[in-house]
Amino acid sequence: MQDRPTACELLEAVRGFLESQVIPASTGGRQFHARVAANVLAIVARELRDEDAFLRSEWRRLARLVDEPSDREPPADGGALRAAVAALNAALAARIRSGDADREPERTAVVAHLRATVADKLRIANPAYLEAG
């Protein structure tokens, strides 16, 4: 683990350079690719900053939806957390396919979970989509 600059600070510095120096000085394809690169850096910075919290929130919502024991905590390790979220998503998908999530209040809870999950993913991929809608 490094002190400063952090990985997010480094990504923001490179993104800032692209936006302030490279994009204005470029045209055509180079400008387009510089914009794409700046956008990728912004996505990676947001993911580094927010992914863990978003995955933990998703894990907690999913655990409630698939009746996991309420005293369990999400895995501490990032890889294990991603795997646990994937497994819980598979369990929820099975409940949806079987029709177990069609009745109220389960249906409303599933829709709320899906909306929250999509919003978190948009906060990483493109926060402007949330502001537009």
Q: What residues contact residue 49 under an 8 Å CB cut-off, 6+ apart?
A: 8
Band (pLDDT 50/70/90 cuts) for residue 24 is very high
- Residue range 49-62, pLDDT digits in tens: 999 999 999 999 99
- What stretch of H or E contains 129? helix 128-132
pLDDT reported for residue 133:
62
Rg, the chain, Cα only: 19
Q: Which of 106, 125, 100, 104 is nearest to 46 (CA)?
A: 125
DSSP secondary structure letters along 55-100: HHHHHHHHHHHTT--TT----SSHHHHHHHHHHHHHHHHHHHHHTT
Angstrom distances, CA of residue 58 to CA of 28, 31, 41: 41, 37, 24
- Residue range 54-110, pLDDT digits in tens: 999 999 999 999 988 777 899 999 999 999 999 999 999 999 999 999 999 999 999
DSSP secondary structure letters along 26-41: --HHHHHHHHHHHHHH
Q: Give the alpha-carbon dihedral of 31, 33, 39, 40, to 10 degrees.
A: -160
pLDDT reported for residue 29:
96
